[in-house]
Amino acid sequence: MKTTLTIFAACFALAAFADRSATSLAGDWHYIVDPQNIGSLGYHDDPDSQRDNMWFGRNVHAKHRSDLVEYNFDASPTMKVPGDWNTQVKELFWYEGIVWYETDFDGRLAGLSKPAQGAGEAKPSGRVFLVLDGVSLKADVYMNGRKLGTHVGGFTQFEFDVTDVIRAGKNSLVVKADNTRSKSSIPTYGFDWWNYGGIIRDVRIETRPETYISRWRVTLDKADRKTLTAEVDLDKAAAGLPVKVAIPELGVTAEGKTDENGRARLTLPQAELTLWSPATPKLYRVVATAGADEVSDEMGFRTIETKGRSILLNGEEIFLKGVCLHDEAPNGGGRVTSDAEVAENIRRAKSLGCNFVRLAHYPHIEKMVRACEREGLMVWSEIPLYWMIDWGNPSTYANAESQVREMISRDIRRGNVIIWSLANETVRSSKRTDFLSRLAKYARSLDNTRLISLAMEVARARNGVNKPEDELHEFVDIVSFNEYVGWYRNVKDADKMVWEIPYEKPVVISEFGGGAVAGRHGANDERWTEEMQQTIYEANVRMFSRIEGLSGTCPWVLTDFRSPRRPLAGVQDGYNRKGLFSTDGREKLAAETMRKFYSTK
């Protein structure tokens, strides 16, 4: 009997390790566009019908010249994986729907060898996993005609155990990518960014021992910043397995054994650490072994907490000098895929004097988070609960939990990630409060070493007074909100605006700003000019000095980005123009305003 797995319905621990034996399947994949979902339903619109069902997943290649197969991956065009289809294929620029991908690979990449004649199919030593770092927004995955499962969530990593499916010779991998929006999806129908579709991040084959480390991390004690605690979890309950965690540079090692649940908790000997901070982004190589498995990673050690209305990094008050950005190529292209694109986004942020980035509005590519850690940039990471969500739908909540779990699982060892954010500009209601309060508790149960927040939407001022109020205040560590005084409100309001913060918690302005076309100049009250954008920034900076407990700001946004919500011809042309940089790298006047402001912090 065929079995499949829907990832968001089960607690699934991921293993994304720096030193795993892995082979990327990146390259040219064949694709077939399928707007009517014929590949899953055949000629019939009845999903229960078995006739001609699962064409693309089952009969990848015709076996005989008489076979009726009305598609042919081998003859189909190709596109790059990873990459979105919108910017690779002109005809698919506006497309939202289904595209089937197919590639062949040799099982010997996973260490399989062809069996001796008559010996049957070769079996791998240990276990083999197919890992997909991101498929937008839903993926059905097949290997050698067998459905491995379904994953919902376009920005987080998922995997399948293919030990019993992979072959020593030729293997066929098929991925059905579907970026169709729906009322119950996350994100839902409406959002202000481009809905890039496809296999947007890497795909790889990983080999692991029969029993392997599924989750591990090393954390710094907040009270004693010389004490490190290691957590090592196996993929199964296996008691008594020897476990060791070492930091070679410090010469410290801790050893123990797994308990009946396959877990080990170790305290490393005290050592003189160089703590991670934007000024000193020190990383240590850490090695963990459990039985036959060994993994390693580079980690930065720091503490992050709040005290009253202050944010403390390593026990010292810090101001988050931030900027928001999308996971979009800085030249206005599609999703980020290359190291060069990551480096340019970071260069632009650091040129403003930033020590912090808000990676909006979904988990960004892992190499961005890691590069920020090396370059001394703290990170706010979030999931795409954006605007109107189907708050009362149990399936939507399960999807949200899955995306939180996968976001935290991937980046739990990244010392620069200091905030897990759960939503952006969601309208207050009892269902929304119940949904997000449950989600906040869940996130904290997975990781209590970081701060929890969300970007609130501030209602219009009453009698010149802005008072951010939200029932969720008790579930977050930081009061964060978006305000657009000067763009959606009169810029003159900034100099008389009064802010009342009713909570004894740090305040972060998670968005502010206004739009401008790079190179367009005019009066400081003329829309879309750099002068008006700069005037808005100058007014906001003056206003910030009157906000009690202000601990950080994040202008929206680093670079202009694609959005179908922005069609104004000759001005927006399908781009949100609130960037401090244009897509061709030109710096707008407002960038200097932020640079000067951050130089005073």
pLDDT at residue 121, as a whole number: 63
pLDDT at residue 424, as a whole number: 97
The predicted model gives 129-135 an average pLDDT of 97
- Range with lowest mean pLDDT among 36-50, 87-101, 132-146, 433-447: 36-50
Question: Per the domain annotation, does 172 fall within a domain?
Answer: yes
Q: What is the dihedral of CA 436, 441, 446, 450, to 10 degrees?
A: 90
Judgement on whether residues 194 and 326 belong to the same structural domain of the protein:
no
The domain boundary residue, chosen from 270, 302, 334: 302
Judgement on whether residues 226 and 186 belong to the same structural domain of the protein:
no
The domain boundary residue, chosen from 208, 238, 256: 208
pLDDT of 372 strictly over 90: yes
Beta-strand (E) ranges in 133-235? 135-136, 138-143, 146-152, 158-161, 170-178, 198-199, 203-208, 213-220, 228-234
CATH number at residue 50: 2.60.120.260
Share of the chain above pLDDT 70, in %: 90
**Of 529, 14, 592, 575, which is closest to residue 326 (Cα–Cα)?**
575
* Mean pLDDT estimate for the chain: 91
- Could you tell me what percentage of the chain is helix, strand and coil, using 3-state DSSP and rounding each to the nearest 5? 20, 30, 50
Domain housing 131: 7-208
Residue 332: count of CB within 10 angstroms of its CB: 17
pLDDT 10s digits, 48-98: 544 444 555 555 566 677 766 677 888 899 999 999 999 999 999 999 999
Question: Per the domain annotation, does 213 fall within a domain?
Answer: no
Against a cut of 0.85, is the pTM above it? yes
The predicted model gives 416-434 an average pLDDT of 97
The predicted model gives 223-247 an average pLDDT of 96
pLDDT of 290 strictly over 70: yes
pLDDT 10s digits, 384-412: 999 999 999 999 999 999 999 999 999 99
pLDDT of 171 strictly over 70: yes
The domain boundary residue, chosen from 302, 332, 351: 302
The angle subtended at Cα 127 by Cα 124 and Cα 133, nearest 5°, is 120
pLDDT at residue 122, as a whole number: 62
Question: Per the domain annotation, does 567 fall within a domain?
Answer: yes
Judgement on whether residues 404 and 491 belong to the same structural domain of the protein:
yes
pLDDT 10s digits, 301-353: 999 999 999 999 999 999 999 999 999 999 988 999 999 999 999 999 999 99
The predicted model gives 26-52 an average pLDDT of 73
Judgement on whether residues 324 and 274 belong to the same structural domain of the protein:
no
Judgement on whether residues 24 and 50 belong to the same structural domain of the protein:
yes
At 463, the pLDDT band (50, 70, 90 cuts) reads: confident
Put the strands of the sheet holding 263-268 in their side by side order: 213-220, 228-234, 263-268
pLDDT at residue 17, as a whole number: 40
Beta-carbon contacts of 311 under 8 Å, excluding residues fewer than 6 positions away, are 304, 305, 317, 318, 319, 320, 451, 478, 506, 551, 552
Judgement on whether residues 202 and 156 belong to the same structural domain of the protein:
yes
pLDDT at residue 120, as a whole number: 53
Check the CA dihedral 545-546-551-555 and report its sign: negative
How many structural domains compose the chain?
A: 3
